[in-house]
Structure 1
Amino acid sequence: MALLHRATLRPTKLDLLATWLPGRPWYQGSAGAAVVSRGAYRFDDPAGAVGVETMLVGAADGPVHHVPLTYRDAPLDGADDSLLGTTEHSALGTRWVYDGCADPVYVAALAHAVLTGAGQAEQYFEVDGRREVREPTMTVAVTGAGHADVAPVGVVRQVVDGDDTVIVTDSVELVVVRRPVPAEPAGPTLLGRWDGQPTSIPLAYTRLA
């Protein structure tokens, strides 16, 4: 389960994305255009230290982009090139926001979700000592799972950005689809559906190493 906080962020996640996205090779949109959210989902960090959220975003008149993010309370060693920036969280203080594809916590969570069929984490707030579930803004599902015997991801060896992002690890190769469109799943695949997208379409898939 993912614990959320009723808090403000300055700058907001969308502010950071509006600056960062135009420099990505897979982004289609005008520099300086406002970025809007279409939906989001989360994975759990088993250690409870890193926030793992994936957003579906884009310019109002452009395609939807699939953007995994991680939120940390300190810089991630060796990941300066993948830093979107920092934001001030009214409950948690300074948060370093990273492209999740370069963060081993996200990569391990994605591999686990896809290969075991675990899917997204339930989100909730703590309200007066009790849990209040937050309804998801999109749904995700997994097809072709059943590889729970694959070794957990230990090392991220390479991240290659193109039209999609390929993440090479010591046990599995992951492909994050950056501009999701309808397609037939091939192998273990994470599928998503959100408001305005009536059918589930591939968001990420695996290729066993």
Structure 2
Amino acid sequence: MAEIMQTTLKPSKLEVITQWMRAQPWYRGAMSPHLEIVGGFRLDDPDGEVGLEFFVVRDEPDGVEYFVPLSYRAEPLRDGESENYLVGTMNHGVLGTRYVYDGPADPVWRVVVADLLNGEAEPQHRTESETPDRTVRLVPGTEAGTVDHATVVRVLLAGPAEEPGVVLPWNAADGGEVSGLVLRGHAG
């Protein structure tokens, strides 16, 4: 399990997400986002090289909630298209420069998320080291072990999930807790 380091990040994760998000076609705001983190979880890279973090952010004042999955790397991806998916860079107080990518563009992210959807990876608490996050739920619907990729639900709707995937709770604007589908699992 990955250790969460208490250190500085410049710019912060939220600052990097905010800058990137306003240019995304799925962003519904008319102006620059004003984001608040209201939920999320992590997954561990079995090789310990790539950070995998998943955020639910709410854009104020309109209250739209978005799911933003990220990967963090020490070196940039070199696949020819990855620069299109670079969210930004951060200076980590211990690890140095981190290249932040939109998760689905990262090959490690894709493998570990498929493992999650097949019940082979355990979600981790977003802010506590070595702590499983038991609030993240899998919605079955495909034969065990057959999910090979995921679709990200970018704009979130709270409510029951009726298709296979990952359901995540988050803090609602009214102070309560809601949940909804954040990742759809696909076989074949």
Fold match (TM-score > 0.5) = yes
Q: Count residues in correspondence.
A: 182
Q: CA deviation at 1:13?
A: 1.0
Contact 1:37–1:56 (Cα < 8 Å) also in 2? yes
The answer to whether the 8 Å contact 2:45/2:51 transfers is: yes
**Residue 11 of structure 2 aligns with which residue?**
11
Deviation at 1:186, TM superposition (A): 3.9
- 1:116-195 superposed matches below 5 A: 116=119, 118-122=121-125, 139-144=135-140, 147-150=143-146, 172-195=148-171
The 3 A distance-change label for structure 1 pair 33 and 174 is closer
> Which of the residues 162, 180, 184 maps onto 1:201?
180
Q: Which amino acid in the other structure matches residue 59 of structure 1?
A: D
Q: Which SS does the other structure have where 2:48 is aligned? A: coil
Deviates more, 1:39-48 or 1:187-196: 187-196
- Match of residue 84 from structure 1: 87
Q: Tell me, which stretches of 5 or more residues in structure 1 are unaligned?
A: 126-131, 151-170
Tell me the amino acid that sits aligned with residue 58 of structure 1.
Answer: R
The one-letter code sitting in structure 1 at the alignment partner of 2:135 is T
Secondary structure in 2 aligned to 1:80? helix
The structure whose residues are more often strand, as a share, is 1
1:105 alignment partner in structure 2: 108
The unaligned stretches of length 5 or more in structure 2 are: none
Other structure's SS at 1:2 match: coil
TM-score normalised to the size of structure 1?
0.77
Residue aligned with 1:67, SS: strand
Note the C-alpha offset of 1:104. Answer: 1.1
- Deviation, 1:115, is 1.9
CA positional deviation for 1:27:
1.0
Give the Cα–Cα distance (whole angstroms) in 2 for the partners of residues 115 and 147 of structure 1: 9
Q: Does the CA contact (< 8 Å) of 2:53 and 2:126 recur in 1? A: no
What is the Cα-based RMSD across aligned positions, in Å? 2.5
Letter of the structure 1 residue corresponding to residue 186 of structure 2:
R
> Alpha-carbon deviation of 1:37?
0.9
- Residue 32 of structure 1 deviates from its aligned partner by 2.4
- Residue 122 and residue 146 in structure 1: after superposition, are their counterparts in 2 closer, same or farther (change >3 A)? farther
Partner of 1:2: 2
2: CA distance, partners of 1:149 / 1:13: 33
Indicate yes or no: 2:71 matched with 1:95.
no
Paired letter, 2:179: S
Residue identity matched to 1:143: V
CA contact (8 A) 1:117 1:145 kept: no
CA distance in 2, matches of 1:149, 1:84: 31
> In the alignment, which residue of structure 2 is the partner of 1:164?
none
TM-score between both structures, scaled by the size of structure 2: 0.85
CA distance in 2, matches of 1:39, 1:109: 20
Give the direction of change, closer, same or farther, for the CA distance of 1:123–1:145 in structure 2 (3 Å limit): farther
